[in-house]
Amino acid sequence: MLSSSRTSPDTPRQSLLPACLTLLLGALLALGTPAVAAHTAARDGDGWTVRQPGGRHDGVAAVVRLDAADGTVTLAARRGGTTVLEAAPVGIVTDDADLTSGLRPVSRTTRQVAERYTMTTGKQLHRTVRMTETRFSFTGRGGARLDLLVRVSDDGIAYRYVLPGSGDVTVEREASAFRLPDSARAWLAPYTPNYERVYEPSGAADAADGSYAYPALFQVGGTYALLTESDVDGRYAASRLVHEKGSGHYAVRLADPAVTSTGPLATPWRTAVIGDLATVTESTLVDDLAPASRIADTSWIRPGKVAWSWLDGFANAQRSLAVQQRFVDYAAAHGWPYALVDDGWKTTDWMPRLIEYARERGVGVLLWVHYTDLDTAAERAEFLPRVKKWGAAGLKIDFMDSDSQERFRWYDEILRDTAREKLLVNFHGATLPKGIQRTWPHVMTLEAVYGAEYGNVPATGLTTLPYTRNVVGSMDYTPMAFQFGTRTVSDAAELALSVVYESGFQNFAGSIRAYRDRPELERFLEQVPTVWDESRLLSGRPGEGAAFARRHGERWFLGGVRSGPAGTQEVPLDFLGGGRWLAETVRDGDDGLVRDRRVVTRHDTLSVPVAAHGGFAGLVCREVPGRDTCDRPVARLPLTELTVRPARTEVDAGASVDVTGRFGVEEFGPAADVALSVRAPEGWTVQGGDPRAEELPTGHDLTGDWAVSVPRDAEHGNHDLVVTAEYRSPDRPGTGVLRVERTVRVFVSPPGVDYVSNLPFAAESNGWGPVERDLSNGERDAADGGPLSIRGTEYAKGLGMHAVGEVVVELDGTHRRFAATVGVDDEVGGRGGVVFEVLADGAAVATTEVLRGTDAARHLEVDVTGVRRLTLRVTDGGDGVDFDHADWADARLLT
């Protein structure tokens, strides 16, 4: 990285001041006050204008004014002849001084900031920075010092305060504000600490009273201003905008009542990206203002596409090794470098096996973790090296949900520690990017958006994000969730988001079935990268549409999404170089996605038919004789699947189990040297051969059948039969022998016991979804739960319920005792609160206290002699039914 700066020559110091203060300045200078240097910050009436040297007639400028009467300072911004930001107050209040009025000028210096740096993520990897910076130095009442730094670039302005003293300083508030013309248009999102609200249009003055999140977009004539902040870390807190209806005034409000730091203190940059829509969307100003990278060697940092299974099964999918291996297999078959396992995996013990399984297939595994699991140095010192030793590639860290100084100090610590372990980071439930990806280039993306996981993002919201949230840094929207929520845009528009939205990790949220149902989508996603050498806005307006061209190497990728009726998207190609190019576009057709091809030049315009709330994706490369596609080869493994029957069964000791294993090649075959086998516990016997195949082409499978005998003295409880498939990939010989295993869970029943989960229910009700037999509550469909687990112990038998609910079974007086182990299932992560009740013929015979997700399991045992009807009931603990997953583990009746 190259970095340099230079200070401009001095110009006459009297140009700093209004005429009414010239005599005062002369007196101060006679007393030894430092001399004033000025250049490029010219006197403008009663203020000073900061602009780029040799600025264009339509260039951006900041105007600083000092009111001689009360010593207040304001800042405004204009572009050409248009005032974009009207004069708004600047200043700061500490516990020692009020530096919002009574200010007197001391000096002014100007320098040119020139830098080059390289990113690991973003809309443009190689960046060049040119800014003019003017430092205005003031003293306040009592001699307190305040420096106001103002920077101006071609794409905006920014200012910050510097308190140059040493020792601790406590900031109580800022006077900082932005003032838009009352008539300006606005696109605003109500503020929440996780920035997960939809942007809505309004007028700058007409917006309702309340707090609004950065970035906030405003339109003044043909110019746009995007308000945000940069360079926030543990020295300070983040802020938000506070507005009172009736004016264009938006005050800056800190997240904390007060912020304490050790001086000298430089506050974050209050930032406005200013220009036309192309300038705003292509701007890197927020990163340009941030500190340089704190990681010297970035060679280990690798952005990429991610297979994310959360929206295809939620926590239950995360607890299933087979499901996660399936997503790893899909990633390996399509050249995606990562798979993400979300909330739920920590209740399992198979993560090291999954990571090794993925490593053999060239896929890195990313792990979800709650930030409270890493909020102390001791937790980080234990957890981070452990998952790195397993081979994890990175972390998705969730639920920070705060913009406080304390939380930013935590960001400083976790970023330092993850960088040391060479773990990539994705922040969810997080603050907004404020230059963090320049300073810590292992941050691949941040959520801070009302994204696809909500399942109902309107098309108008989708088409506003490119001009707002995504301008300031990578945005983990998680597109491609075709199987989830309410579809608000077409398939082609959803595919286009892989280009329209920038994110170092693109966490694609589709199910494998949804992908395979859309082969043109699969094909495009194989090719599209997640980082860009160059980005261009081609057309669009907030809330209406956005079309982008982004270059990676020699290829351009196109993406367009629209809100509104069907029509034709006109795509100008003047961003291309000279000569002939091959353009491929993917659009909505009558029976799914279709691909069109044509040869074009930079003078052409593509006309792409688009559906209602539709869009398109495209790929453009140099036209070469004989080339009929811009696709490049993908390093892939065969997509295979191993299934076993039965997945679970229950037998008596001395009986036998018939097991079938089927290994199939679904895509990208063949698989070679395929072998199937079964492994049984010691003392169990297996009959049946182990089938083999020298080669299995796509669409073929290999099946094995075995009869497994259970010894008469087999222990009661769970036993595993493990079916293994081994194979090689002829196209990837370096991968060696690949293995996949599936387990048949065999429960050996004790004599004289009837499990409630095996009995018919006379009646049942449940708070969410059906009552589950031998599974936890999945909240939606039958058999969508995970293993029954209470405080780390799994149970083979039992009922999974959700408050408020109950199950009734008819006993007809045939049983002697009822017993169960009860508690809140581990899947809710320590939350929830439930009361368990046992009723015999309508009379309560056992009731627990409120059991919460952190409580140990309780054992219940009651006499049911002569009882005809047994009721098992769960109620909430008085705090509502959220997370009330209640397990009746090992629920059994003794005869």
CA distance 419 to 441: 9
Strands 424-427 and 443-446: parallel
CB 724 within 8 A of CB 691: no
CB 298 within 8 A of CB 125: no
Question: Which of 647, 722, 662 is closest to 696 using CA atoms?
Answer: 662
Question: Which of 276, 181, 301 is closest to 223 using CA atoms?
Answer: 276
Q: How many CB atoms lie within 10 A of CB 724?
A: 17
| Both tokens assigned to 496 | 């286009």
CB 730 within 8 A of CB 672: yes
Amino acid identity for residue 442 in this structure: H
Beta bridge partners of 728: 672
Peptide bond into 73 cis (omega under 30): no
b/e sequence 237-268, b meaning 16+ C-beta within 10 Å: bbbbbbbeeebbbbbbebbbeebebeeebbbb
> Residues 370, 376, 382, 386: what is their CA dihedral angle, to the nearest 10 degrees?
30
Phi then psi for residue 2, to 5 deg, are -105, 140
Which of 86, 312, 453, 779 does the annotation list as catalytic?
453
Beta bridge partners of 526: none
CB 817 within 8 A of CB 862: yes
CB 38 within 8 A of CB 108: yes
Question: Which of 626, 628, 624, 593 is closest to 608 using CA atoms?
Answer: 593
| Both tokens assigned to 132 | 């003019």
Annotation says 453 is catalytic = yes
Which of 282, 398, 476, 774 does the annotation list as catalytic?
398
Residues 6+ apart with CB under 8 A from 92: 99, 100, 146, 161, 163, 171, 173, 174, 175, 176, 267
Number of H helices, E strands in the chain: 13, 60
Q: What is the DSSP string of 371-422?
A: GGGGSSHHHHHHHHHHHHHHT--EEEEE-----SHHHHHHHHHHHHHHHHHT
Annotation says 667 is catalytic = no
| Both tokens assigned to 581 | 């190019």
Q: How many CB atoms lie within 10 A of CB 621?
A: 18
b/e sequence 569-603, b meaning 16+ C-beta within 10 Å: bebbbeebeeeebbbbbbbbeeeebebeeeebeee
CB 489 within 8 A of CB 613: yes
Point out the residues that are catalytic.
Answer: 398, 453
